[in-house]
A and B are shown apart, each in its own frame.
Chain A
């Protein structure tokens, strides 16, 4: 018997052993997340991992099949709770015959203590297009409108479901800068992304979701170190075979001619063992693995732990 986690007062968001299925399709299977005010959390995972479902549940847009969801210690459908949240959805739209300024003015009126319209347009970089009809905007400008609508209520918690999808490199960089500035004022930010770089740049906590289960929940640095803290590359003569590495604390071994590459959380031990075996090592490089590699390792490990999961893909 497992005991169900119980809600703790003071948290911004709580998912407690939440399950969600759509008909026979299972989207989340037993997810527990507690997010404290001021945390900047990235939910990372491949398409269909359950990120959007998790955010929909947090906002009360969908109901869990089992488990509990709390938003600012209230039911997530509660208006008082929602009045403290700003939201940028992955799929949504506005009445595009209206102008940018009008749309911002309408949405800010939904909130008890909104920012001035002028300030919202400034923060979202929309001053130049404020009087334009939304239907005439580019995709990137539209994303900025959605960002403006998310922050116009001066929310304590900002929810964004893949906010940079469809942005080019330049606007993505600018956008990440804006969100960082916004988050630095002590606000809670919860965003989903499948851009690992984004999670690394923005978040102080990364939750990795895969096939409806949380497989990691830690700081970006800790996730990197936990899975494969170092990437080791070198050349060796004569060329090595996989058998030479048996019993060493390494993963993701790649061999190509004389080049060797692997991940290890204990590279010193691995290399010491290698030297004892008499490897002639040249061009040695030991670097910290980036989040992308950590992520691949995390999801790959899990797939090999559960062959039935891989078959289901």
Chain B
């Protein structure tokens, strides 16, 4: 035991890296969760993508590349809504947040680590999907692959807001998965990232541009040259959605904190 003055707290970057590793270790230890997260988009690709891999769309983009970009948008968003949302709800249900609050770990580090950990897992899920796509024969220039990763990870950041909102509103470990499915799955269909919008009813085509996931899709399609809207527009609207969903998450967070720590 050391007394008094020489106990300056642990430096912030070190705390952040410890906490990010803790979050990732938590994901790693739930194999079923990781398989669901990383495996599902790959499975969808096998079902929808493989049979039409080399068909070419009007804009000289292969169907394989188009589907890969769509499912990539699905994969990254999936992680940030489900894994981050349910993970945060579980942290609260287990009352780990209480113990962290009493420890020298600053609350914002715990949240930042949850966000960074989610983005890392999302990038992994995307990387696996793209690797499978490339191995299956989807041909894209090297710059397009890089652009696709950057565009989709950027595009999915607003989904962190949605995930954390679900995590802070879902009061038990059971409510959050239900909430996540109820919001995310219909939105994924209505945004055209699971089934192309031109195969959807007109009402869905009307709603789609107003959904945050639609912008993630646009970013992905832009990266492979298959978008019908400009990249700049998608980048800006994604930022707007980031602010909206971020504000929602802050609201849900404050509700939670007021209840526990006022």
Contact = CB atoms under 8 A, between A and B. Distances in A.
25 contacts: A22-B262, A62-B261, A80-B9, A82-B102, A83-B7, A83-B8, A84-B7, A89-B102, A91-B95, A92-B96, A92-B98, A95-B22, A95-B26, A95-B91, A95-B94, A95-B96, A98-B22, A98-B25, A106-B18, A106-B19, A106-B21, A106-B22, A110-B15, A112-B7, A156-B3
A113 B7 contact: yes
Interface string A157-190: 0010000000000000000000000000111000
B2 A154 contact: yes
A159 B103 CA distance: 11
Contact of B102 (A59, A96, A102): A59
A94 interface: yes
A79 interface: yes
A148 to B, nearest CB: 12
Counting contact residues on chain B (CB < 8 A from A), the size range is 20 to 34
Contacts of B144: none
A2 B53 CA distance: 83
Contact of A98 (B15, B19, B29): B29
Contacts, number: 101
Contact of A110 (B2, B3, B91, B103): B103
Contacts of B90: 95
A63 interface: yes
A70 to B, nearest CB: 15
Contacts of B3: 37, 156
B135 interface: no
Interface of B: 1-3, 7-10, 14-15, 18-19, 21-22, 25-26, 29-30, 90-91, 94-96, 98-99, 101-106, 261-262
Contacts of B29: 97-98, 133
A295 interface: no
A111 interface: yes
Given A96-B94, A109-B10, A110-B15, A153 B2 contact: no
A191 to B, nearest CB: 14
Contacts of A238: none
A63 B262 contact: yes
Given A63-B262, A110-B105, A89 B7 contact: no
A153 B104 contact: yes
B8 A112 contact: yes
B194 to A, nearest CB: 30
A153 B30 CA distance: 28
Contacts of B25: 98, 102
A171 to B, nearest CB: 21
Contacts of A89: 95, 98-99, 102
B171 to A, nearest CB: 15
Contacts of B262: 22, 62-63
Nearest to B33: A97
